[in-house]
Every structure is written in C-alpha cells, then in structure tokens.
Amino acid sequence: MSALETTKTVAVVGAGTMGAGIAQLAAAAGHPVVLFDAFEGAAEKGKAGVDKGLDKLVSRGKMTAETKAALLARIRLASDISEVAEASLVVEAIIENLEIKRELFASLENLVASDTILATNTSSISVTAIARELKHPQRFLGMHFFNPAPVMKLVEVISGVATDAGAAEMIYDTAQNWGKIAVHAKSTPGFIVNRVARPYYAEALRLCEEQVASPATLDALLTGAGGFRLGPFALMDLIGNDVNYAVSESVFNAYYQEPRFRPSIMQLELVNAGRLGRKSGRGFYDYADDATLAQAALENADSNAEAADIKLSGGFDIDGVVVEQTTGVTAAARAKTLGKPVIVLDLNKGTGTSVVGFACSTNVEDETVSKLVAGLAAQDIKAVRLPDWPGLVVMRTVAMLANEGYEANMQGVASFEAIDNAMKYGVNYPKGPIEWANEIGLANVLAVLDGIYHLTRDPRYRAALSLRLAADNH
C-alpha cells in the first residue's frame, strides 16, 4: 500500500506544540490540513506558532516567502470537530489520558468515512487500549512523532492488536513521504524509544548511587568517550526529573516490576525536593546565574612524565603493565588471570574521543598511571580514573542498551533495523544499540552483563536469551 496521496486531507486534533508541528509537516508535504482544538483560541495560537517558526526559516534562507505562504494557506482552522469529516487521516495530539482519548476517537469514528485512518500521537498509552471501544479498530494505530515534530526525524508507527497491516504500511509510507524515518513497532509499554532508552538513565543513576563517579564525571564520559550528544544527568535535567522519573516508574509498573526498569531513589529524592532540573533552576546541576559549574573529576597530566604510546582500542603494554579494553571483568580479576598488573580502559569511540575512563589493579604503580595519563593528554584526551568496577561506565551503559534492544526484538516489538533507527533518529544516539553491540562483539557485551550479574546478583543484569544465543552462534 502506498503513501496517502497529497490531495487527501489530513486532520490534526490538538493544536499544541506537537499538534501544530504535525499540521506543519502534513502541509509541507502538500496535504490540505484541518487543525482543530477544543479550547477556544488554541488552533489560532498553534497556527501562529507555525507562522513564527517558518519566519525563522525564511530569514535564514532555508525557505522562500512564497513557499511559506503556500504552506500556511494549506492549514485551515476548524471551529467545530465536525469539520474533520473530510479527512482521510486524522492524527490526535491531545492530553495523555486514556479515557479522554477513547471518547475523542469514539466521536471521530462517527464523523469520518469508513476508510479514514485514525492515529494517536500518544507516547505512553497502549494503542490497543485506546482502540478497545472502537467499532473498526483495524484502522486505528499509533503515529508517534518526537518533539519538535518538524525537526526530529523519527516516527514510530505503532500497531495495536487489531491494527490492519495495510493501514500500518500506509502510515509508514506516509511518514517517509513527509521526510521522516519511520519504524514499525508493536504496542507495548514505551514502544521502542522510551523502552530501549531506559538504561541510559538507569545505569548512570545506579553508577552514581554506587559512588563510582559524580554526575558531571559520568556525563563527561558518556559524551566524550561514548559520543552521546548530552550526558544522562544533563538530559534528565532538561527533560525534567519529574517527567523522567514518571516515565521510568510507568514502564517499570507496566512490565510488572521488571528489575531492568527499576526507578532510582536518588532521582525520586530530587523530585521530592522540587529539584526538577532546568525548569526549577536546580536538579542534578545548579542553574542559578551565580552557581559554580560542576566539574568532572579529571586526572592532571604531569608535564614531566614520559608519555606512553596509547592505543584507544587497548591491547598494549606500559612498563610491564597490560593495558586492555574492559570486557566486564575487573582489572583485579584480569591481573589474577594474567599474573601481571592490569589497567582496563572504558569503551570509547576511537577517533574524536575527548575523555577516557580507566581502572587499575592494585599493583599498578603511580608512575605507570602518570605515563598513561600523559599519553592520553598527548592526543588531547582527558583521563578519568574510576574504581575497579565491572564494565566501568560507557561499556556498561552500551551493554545494557544493547541488551534491551535484543530483549525488545525477541518479544516481537520491532526489528533490529527499526530499533537501531529509532535510537539514532529518535534520541540521537551515535549508533544503534544492535549495530554497536555487533561492533564491540556480542561475546564482549555478554561478558559485561554476566560479569556485573556475577558480582551483584541483581537480575537487572540478566542477559536477554536472544543475545546469549546470538553470542554463542558468533
């Protein structure tokens, strides 16, 4: 089934930031658009917001004034919901409340044609549950955009239990036609992105609770070595700790208290204290104008120290000390196995790395550490000395992201390709978790998870069966 023809009308119900953005996308693709909001003046405000946003594109030379005028002309404001009756696709972008959404779609079903597709932009509510009372649930699905909709590339196309495969394929093609990266997913808690992303926050919080490193240090490692655009603590402050915690708790409860999704008491305490992040002026970081900027705990490079020849991929020697990349085994355990002192390096992105974490077995001399730090500094790379912890920071985080990706795929939520695309284009990860795991080596990812589980016996580190089988087959 091909994409919705651009001659067909798209209706958007809900003219807030998301709804207005979706209306802009549909109009930019050439569709006539009907924009409706139940609150008086909201649709006008939504279209005015689109106008203002397009003005910026025109001023930067990315859109002509004529193109802008034509786009806006295709967006018609509706004063009554009955005006959506002409639409071939209706996208809902209203409050995240199951009963209110059910009521809306029940009324829409009586207004539109029998072949009109009904879509919800919900980010957290079961698509199947919303469709339960519909007479024709086969034409209902999720069309989950990311904020801001005109900018973010991803659209999750969510199929409920009753969704017709042809309808899902049409919306997939339509999203692609609108310039988006579309992915198919099954209606399960968190869909792809909000589920697979949980370890990015959860492991950072857990590492902080375990006193492995401070928020600033963990953020520096995950951006400087991992290549993530924003560290988890800065990101939680941006999202709002109340919002991020609520999503974590929702996914945790939706999966019947699955330990992998266990929320953090540390984050809960910040919420209890009203430290919600940027919007409240303080979260993990202090955003007051006179606040001291939190600094990562970096090693000072000794200008007099001999600089070791560093290979970021690991596997070299400094003064008889083995330096290798972590695979989840502690430096102490590796030293016992090899009969030599050991330094383990955290996972890093190689070229472009600006920060690297490392840990030492107990018998590594300070002089050797100085040579390591000086060698890194010679490559403009800062060093962070970590406790001898299994998986360190970046490797542990990526292993858990990959594990969740394998678990989601095993449960039929989405294909490996969809999972990778969802994380790259929905939350701007430097690599898809499945792609990353294959690059690291599935056996290494499994070793990290097994190593942490062996020491903690925490079931959150239980490896996905599909990951274990895939590692065995490689």
131 in a structural domain: yes
Residue range 233-256: mean pLDDT, rounded? 96
Residue indicated by tokens 């959860």: 202
More confident call, 163 vs 1? 163
Alpha-carbon span 435 to 418, nearest angstrom: 11
428 contacts 470 by C-beta, under 8 angstroms = no
Instruction: Among 187, 216, 239, identify where a domain stops.
Output: 187
Q: Would residue 126 count as lying in a domain?
A: yes
pLDDT one-digit tens code per residue, 22-48: 999 999 999 999 999 999 999 999 999
CATH number of the domain bearing residue 86: 3.40.50.720
Q: How far is CA 358 from CA 314, 368, 390, 392, in A?
A: 11, 13, 11, 8
pLDDT attached to residue 473: 87
Whether 447 is in a domain gets the answer no
The model's pTM: 0.95
Q: Are residues 179 and 327 in the same domain?
A: no
Q: What is the pLDDT of residues 185-200, one digit of tens each?
A: 999 999 999 999 999 9
As a whole number of angstroms, the distance between CA 375 and CA 385 comes to: 14
Q: Is the peptide bond before 150 cis (omega within 30 degrees of 0)?
A: no
Render pLDDT for 417-447 as a digit per residue (tens, 0 to 9): 999 999 999 999 999 999 999 999 999 999 9
Q: Are 383 and 410 in contact (CB under 8 A)?
A: no
pLDDT tens by residue, 104-115: 999 999 999 999
CB 50 within 8 A of CB 72: yes
What CATH number did the domain enclosing 370 receive? 3.30.750.190
pLDDT band at 236 (very low <50, low <70, confident <90, very high): very high
**pLDDT exceeds cutoff 90 at 255:** yes
Q: Which residue has the tokens 């339960």?
A: 132
Task: Quote the mean pLDDT of the chain.
Answer: 96
Residue at 446 is within a domain: no
In tens, the pLDDT along 47-56 reads: 999 999 999 9
Say if 210 falls within a structural domain. no
Per-residue pLDDT at 315: 86
pLDDT of residue 1: 56
Which of 325, 334, 335 is closest to 358 using CA atoms? 325
Name the domain boundary from 166, 187, 208: 187
Q: Does 300 participate in catalysis according to the annotation?
A: no
> Which residue in 92, 156, 203, 324 is the catalytic one?
156
Known catalytic residue at 439: no
Over residues 346-353, mean pLDDT = 94
Please say whether the dihedral angle defined by the alpha carbons of residues 383, 386, 391 and 393, taken in this order, is positive or negative: negative
**Which residue, among 118, 101, 198, has the nearest Cα to 158 in the 3D structure?**
118
In angstroms, rounded to a whole number, what is the distance separating the alpha carbons of residues 168 and 160? 10
Amino acid identity of residue 279, one-letter, is: K
Residue from 466, 215, 228, 208 nearest 347 by CA: 228
In a domain, 273, yes or no: no
**Cα pseudo-dihedral 168, 174, 178, 181, rounded to 10:** 40
Counted domains in the chain: 2
End-to-end CA distance of the chain: 37
Q: Would 238 be classed as within a structural domain?
A: no
Q: Which of 141, 160, 187 is the last residue of a domain?
A: 187
Separation between Cα atoms, residue 149 and residue 161, nearest integer Å: 26
Residue 170 has pLDDT above 60, yes or no: yes
Active-site pick, 126, 159, 187, 194:
194
Q: What percent of the chain has pLDDT over 70?
A: 100
Question: Could you tell me how far CA 168 lies from the centroid of its own chain?
Answer: 23
Instruction: Pick 450 or 327 by higher pLDDT.
Output: 450
Q: How confident is the model at residue 328 (pLDDT cuts 50, 70, 90)?
A: confident
Parallel, antiparallel, or unpaired: how do β-strands 10-13 and 33-36 relate? parallel
- 321: buried, middle or exposed (CB in 10 Å: 19+, 13-18, 0-12)? buried
> Annotated catalytic residue: which of 31, 88, 144, 370?
144
User: What is the domain range of residue 364?
Assistant: 316-385
* 123 given a catalytic annotation: yes
Point out the catalytic residue in the list 121, 123, 241, 444.
123
Does residue 133 lie within any of the structural domains? Answer: yes
The confidence score (pLDDT) of residue 325 equals: 93
Whether the per-residue pLDDT at 233 is higher than 90: the answer is yes
Helix (H) or strand (E) segment spanning residue 234: helix 232-239
pLDDT reading at 342 higher than 80:
yes
Q: Where are the alpha helices (DSSP H) in 240-365?
A: 241-254, 265-272, 331-338
